[in-house]
Chains A and B, each alone.
Chain A
């Protein structure tokens, strides 16, 4: 969706390295930013989210950062494993709706 831009569209990394996905949003009033992971043939599953009262959140090898001034947020996967290979979607709320980015296909090479 045009309200949320997500890059890169494809990301290939070596197992054990880190991976970063970046998103920008348009509405400065956005205050909720979820990240979804979608494996082939599966539905999107929420993996982590951050609200605008935080700049950083970490859980189980995932770190999300939020820069409200730049209207930018990012997902960082540390120590990637082959099981992290999937499509990842960022999202942001705006005008009572959630807008999704176009997705990043992450490929973790063993």
Chain B
């Protein structure tokens, strides 16, 4: 099936540092999403993104978070500065249409903030 790629698979950083998580969405998809999942718990929506803009974000999408997709390259989630509670698995997803089509998830980036 369609593949979403995420780089890196794991990242360990010190609290206060910046981190950038990269997502390579399915090639013809137009809508992109980030979710946060703490081990064994629910998928928590962070943000969705279309046509270069944030369409919707949740309360979890703090001011320290930002997303962009410069020139059709990676869809990125940047956290600056990081906090201990940012430790989680971050999943990227993409879909053709917003809200009415299958979202395909990447393998996730496991972020550990020390």
Residues of A within 8 A of B (CB): 1, 31-32, 34, 36, 42-46, 49, 87, 89, 93-103, 105
Contact between chains at B107 and A42 (CB < 8 Å): yes
Asked whether, in the complex, the Cβ of A102 is within 8 Å of the Cβ of B107, the reply is no
- Which chain B residue shows the least CB distance to A43? B105
Given contacts A43-B108, A49-B102, A93-B100, contact A101 B91 (CB under 8 A): no
Using CB atoms, name the residue of chain B closest to A102. B42
Q: Interface residues of B: mostly helix, strand, loop or mixed?
A: loop
Knowing A87-B40, A89-B43, A102-B42, the reply to whether A94 touches B107 (Cβ < 8 A) is no
Contact pick for A31, options B91, B98, B100, B104, CB 8 Å: B100
Please classify the interface of chain A as helix (H, G, I), strand (E, B), loop, or mixed, using the class held by over half of its residues: strand
Q: Output the least CB separation between A52 and chain B (Å).
A: 10
Residues in chain B near residue A43, CB distance under 8 A: 91, 105-108
